[in-house]
Amino acid sequence: MTPKEWFALLLFYAAYLFMGASVFYHVENDLETERRAEELAERIEINGYGNISPHNTFGRIFLIFYALIGLPVNGFFFAYVGEFWARGFVRLYRRYKAYKLSANARYAPRRISFIGQIVLYLIPGVFVFIFAPACVFTYFEHWPYDVSVYYSFVTLTTIGFGDYAASFQPSQEHEFGSLFTVYKIFIIVWFFAGIGYIFMILGFIAKGISHKKIQELEKLVASNLKETQHRVWNGVTKDISYLRKILNEVYMLKFKVSFWKKLLQTFIPSLSLRARTCALCCLSVFFCPHISVRACLL
């Protein structure tokens, strides 16, 4: 995806969120626009904590059609966020490899197993998107650290039980002041980046599994082709040798018949045509038992 396409998708995604937020703001008569935006994010992002929900018939019906469009858009958006993370990791690895090669021309990167690569990608993601943000949630939400880790994991895996959720209470705004606005922005950025990272891991696992299957299929096809080629070549070789024997026998047959004809014409020219033919047949049958007299006469 080009940067223009990515920017257009981001604008459409944001516009779709704010459009839904405006509708729910007027339908539910709620003055807290942030709570409406949080509800929309939960609905189209699958996790759905359940602490905010529509309270009238129109809001519920609108939510059904809104989510039917929002869920695919949300999937495309996070898939491209995961692709962005994947490109970043590949670029970083290439720079590291180029640096090692410039320092040592004989440098050979270690081969890591498929499980090892998954763990290698998971370690920085678990620290950056679960353990580090848990400290922020502990500070602003006054949760124990283990609860904050649990909330981070449940949110990023889109499980969303709803037993713990970022509250955004007015008391928090009075307590933390301008830092509370930074906290709300942090949650939005953390959620989008974290979900994109999870999508990157899932995509990497899917590609790795499909790559292994493709390799096994390629080996199977190559072995079958080699075996088929061997069988065909052996069959063709046998057919050629058999055909060569037949041609040799036909050639020798013609040579022997013409040889006896010339011999009779040379040494016994006075014999009649019928006598020479009979003599030729007798000689041919004597020296070539597989030739019938009738074939000789013909």
Q: What is the pLDDT of residues 91-121, one digit of tens each?
A: 887 887 788 778 777 777 777 776 777 788 8
Identify the top-confidence range among 19-33, 47-61, 167-181, 207-221.
167-181
Q: Is the pLDDT of residue 172 over 60?
A: yes
Distances in whole angstroms, Cα of residue 163 to Cα of each of 60, 183, 184: 22, 20, 19
Region at 291 (left for phi over 0; alpha for psi -120 to 50; beta for the rest) = beta
pLDDT tier, 20 (very low <50, low <70, confident <90, very high otherwise): confident
CA-to-CA distance for 27 and 142, rounded, in angstroms? Answer: 33
pLDDT at 251: 59
pLDDT tens for each residue of 125-146: 899 999 999 999 999 999 999 9
Mean pLDDT to the nearest integer, 31-56 = 56
- The token duo for 274 is 């019928």
- The token duo for 142 is 């006054």
pLDDT tens for each residue of 271-298: 444 455 555 555 554 444 444 444 444 4
Q: What percent of the chain is modeled with pLDDT above 90? A: 10
Hey, is 191 helix, strand or coil? helix
pLDDT at 135: 95
- Chain centre to alpha carbon of residue 270: 90
pTM: 0.59
